[in-house]
Structures are given as C-alpha cells and as structure tokens.
Amino acid sequence: MVIQLVTGLFLAIHYSCRTQLAFERVSHLIRDVNLGWFLRISHANGARFFFMALYLHIGRGLYYGSYHLELTWIVGVRIFLMVIATAFFGYVLPWGQISFWGATVITNLFSAIPNLGPSIVSWLWGGFSVENPTLTRFFAFHFIMPFVIAAFSIIHLLFLHETGSRNPLGINRNIDKIIFHPYFSVKDTLGFVGFFVLFMIINLYLPWELGDPENFIPANPMVTPVHIQPEWYFLFAYAILRSIPNKLGGVVALVASVLILYSLVLYKNHFFKGNSFSSSSKVIFWVFIVIFLLLTWIGARPVEVPYIFTGQVLTVLYFMYFFLIHLIWELEKWLFFKELPISKS
C-alpha cells in the first residue's frame, strides 16, 4: 500500500489526463524521466502483487473462518470492493488499446440495468463515448481512492484488535497463548522479505511479463483488439460474466461473485472458528481454490467451445461452495450433538 501511494504520487506529477497526451506522457515518463521506468513498473506490478496478497489474505480468512468476526469481515470486503474499483480506474490511465476497450466494455455493462442503464453509462463517460471527461474523472477517482482505502484499513485493524486473529479455535481463553514478539513478528518479517525479493526480481528482470502486450499500442477507437481481457486478478470474475448468455444475468453474476462474501457473516454458532479442524471442510476449501484458479484460466481463453461450457460449470461450482460450507457446518453440528454422551441423571 505504501509503495503504491508513493509511486502513484510521483507518477501523477508527470501524467496528463488528456486522451491526446496520456499515452505519450506515460511513454515520456518511461524513456526520459530519471528512474521513471522503475516508478512505472513498480506501480503496475505493485498492483498485481497487491491483489496476490489480497487473495491470499481472503483465502486465509475463508480457511480459518475469519468471517465470524463480523465487523472486521464486512469492512474487509468493502476494502476489497474499493481496491477492485481503484485498480480498474488505474488500468484505464495509460490509454493503450486494452485500457480504452476495457473501459468501454466494463462501463457498457451498466447499460444492462433496465431503464436507468443508458443514463448511468452517459454519466460515467461524461458524454457519448469514452473520452476526455472519462479519463479525467477516472484519474481523479484513482488518485483519491487509495487514501480512502488506507483509512478503511485502519478501521479494519481497529475492529480486528477488539477480538484478535491468532486463535484458530475461536475460544476466548488467555491460557496457552503465544506472544506476538518475537515469534510472529519474525515470521511475518521473513514472509515480507521473501515477498519483496520476488517483487524486485519481477521488476528488474521480468518487468512486462505480467502485462498485456496490446497495451503498448495507443488507444484507437476504430480498431477493436481480437481478444479483450482484463488483468489476471479480474479474470475469474470475467469468466463468470462471460458464462451467462444474458447480459443482465452476466452483470448480476459478476457483482454477486464478490458480494457473496458478505453472506458468510450469516454462518454463526459454530463450535470451531476455522475449517482446519474438519476434514470435509478442508476438502471443499481446496476444491474451491482449484475452481478459482480454473476460472482465472478460462477468463484468458477465447470465447469458444469447450471453454464456454467449462466456464458455466465452474461458475455454478463457484457459487455452490458458499452454500456447501454452511450445509457442512450444520451437518457436523448435528453429528456432534448426536454423539454427545447423555447423562442418565
């Protein structure tokens, strides 16, 4: 987050949110500004590593049942939604082919809303197509949203520290607990150093590997790219969107794929906080991870057989997970009570 804020501030100094200049200013930054290439690469790959860490964090929350900390989980999902919006706004700013057409496709999704859709799209664009007003407001939102995310992160931590998070059992007992320093602080520092080393290796040796080569071409409204796809961290949602033949249904499924995380706070009254104590929950969790990865892969494939049908099956399985974990918890609770010894007295 700090890397993104610092690099983003210096990038904003050299940026121009005019469609005639945006691509050239980014190119000038890379070629002519001292260490400008490093700022640009660090910011672009920083966003990708940010999502990598975010998905690992959400996965850990699902595995250990962090959704039982209701306020912490709700604020966390809200942060996730804001990060998604911020990343989308930022991806439009370089004004390459994928940036332009990605903005056009995603904003056009709002036109699926009955009656109000076309008006919402025109309001987002600031006109009748993706042009100067669109780029200006996307730049403004992309600049201000990280500070809002930082504020919500503090709120997230405040709610977390009311309960703590290092107790997978979820039992409020102070006995047998391990102090944070030096045990966890050393472990977290080691994890951070490893992650940062990988980040620097990507920046210095494979800077453009995670991006789309099509975005090195200036935006051209007259030429549509053969295959428009978002960054890898949005591909799972993009695959879900494509799997629904109806436009409105696809938009609803796309939004639901993220908002369904809110539903987890409804799963209450469990004996253990985490899935790590239930073999069936473990299996279901890792199957869900495989489904998520396969959806990410499907999102990068062309819209053709057999990828269409495969994406539809995976979409159904993705949403089934959130219902299955609740059924498993209820079944295990019933079995737990059934096996309890009943006192004769």
Residues annotated as part of the active site: 161, 165, 187-188, 231
Q: Is the dihedral of CA 6, 165, 49, 200 positive or negative?
A: positive
- In 3D, which of 136, 145, 186, 160 has the Cα closest to residue 66? 160
Helices (H), the chain: 2-14, 22-32, 36-63, 70-92, 97-108, 117-125, 132-163, 183-205, 235-243, 247-259, 279-299, 307-339
Coil, helix or strand at residue 252: helix
Other Cβ atoms within 10 Å of 276 Cβ, number: 15
- In 3D, which of 231, 223, 249 has the Cα closest to residue 240? 249
Query: Using an 8 Å Cβ cutoff, are 252 and 273 in contact?
Result: no
Cα–Cα distance, 34 to 61 (Å, whole number): 41
DSSP E strands in the chain: the ranges are: none
Query: Using an 8 Å Cβ cutoff, are 272 and 169 in contact?
Result: yes
Query: Using an 8 Å Cβ cutoff, are 7 and 39 in contact?
Result: yes
Cα–Cα distance, 147 to 342 (Å, whole number): 57
| Distances 60 to 67, 165, 326 between C-alpha atoms, Å | 11, 11, 17
- In 3D, which of 182, 199, 175, 301 has the Cα closest to residue 242? 301
Beta pairing partners, 218: 96
The size of the chain, in residues, is 345
